Structure 1
Amino acid sequence: MATTTFKSLTDTTFDSVEGYRQAGEKANNPQLKQALQQRGIQREATLRQMNAELERQGDELVTKGTLTGEAHQMWQSITSAFESDDEAAAERVEEGEDYIKGKFEKALNGDQLEAQERAIVQQCYNEICEGERFGDMISKQYD
């Protein structure tokens, strides 16, 4: 059975995949739309890696959003921001990426993960950091 911390990180990762999918659909600027879709694909790969660890532990895979979680609500605000404009949405993406990066850092700095989970989270953290840099970049670009 996976630790609560690992399961929570996987839930947040799923929510961000879904957020990128919805944001990509709603973006107006073609370059932004493509960039969001590309980041979503990279985040999906991270989710697959985390789900593989859940499967290894005999746990249920994360295949749907948390609906009540902070991350889900944050990504909902990101996608609704696209209804107004790309600039607002870019700022929300940056906030979402800051949130998930912080959550991964907290898990890595804590002692709630078992050794194999920690190894997976450490590997996934690189992609999470890329996402955070992406959020910063588009936020500046659309500011």
Structure 2
Amino acid sequence: MTNNPSTDILNDILETLIDSTHGYEKAAEIADRDTFKNFFSRRAAARRAMAAAVRKEITAYGDAPENDGTILASAHRVFMNLSAALQDNDEAAIEAVETGEEYLRMKFDRALERDDLSPSAKTLLRNYQGELRADGRLIDHLEAAAS
């Protein structure tokens, strides 16, 4: 924890972005269809880019960005492995990233409600909200295609 509320909020978001990146990478590993593998790989790259932008913002405050995801995400990846072993891999991958994306959108929404988040940090997060919503819609389409 730092003395800068924006850094603390952004580091929390950053951990979740790191988790999301790892989740998409794992989803690409376990998916069966190349279309899904490619989608998940592209989303992992997009999450890495978001994480880099958040790191840059934290560094601009003179603070140190987080480097790791959360323990909860590690547990989620273990669940993805078990889930994939028990059901269709495409379905398991889509279900897992859908859950992760809902959580990430909720984190962004909560962060943007905070009065102690700097204007530049709010702008950064708002710039990515549309992408997160679009990803949610794309995941819904993948879910329909996998059924």
Q: TM-score, normalised by structure 1?
A: 0.84
Q: Deviations over 1:27-60 (max 9, x none)?
A: 2211111110011111111111111101111222
Quote the residue 1:142 is aligned against. Answer: 146
Quote the residue 1:26 is aligned against. Answer: 30
Query: Which of residues 21, 25, 36 in structure 2 aligns to 1:17?
Result: 21
Aligned partners of 2:27 and 2:94 also within 8 Å: no
Quote the residue 2:84 is aligned against. Answer: 82
Aligned partners of 1:15 and 1:66 also within 8 Å: yes
Query: Which of residues 64, 69, 76 in structure 2 aligns to 1:60?
Result: 64
CA separation in 2, counterparts of 1:72 and 1:126?
Answer: 27
Quote the residue 1:118 is aligned against. Answer: 122
RMSD between aligned residues = 2.0
Gap change, CA 1:133 and 1:88, over 3 Å in 2: same
Q: Is the aligned partner of 1:100 residue 2:100?
A: no
CA separation in 1, counterparts of 2:115 and 2:74?
Answer: 25
Of all paired residues, the percent bearing the same amino acid is: 27
Question: Could you tell which deviates more after superposition, 54-63 or 36-45?
Answer: 54-63
**Aligned-residue offset at 1:80:** 4.4
CA separation in 2, counterparts of 1:37 and 1:80?
Answer: 21
Aligned partners of 2:94 and 2:142 also within 8 Å: yes
Q: TM-score, normalised by structure 2?
A: 0.82
CA separation in 2, counterparts of 1:30 and 1:78?
Answer: 18
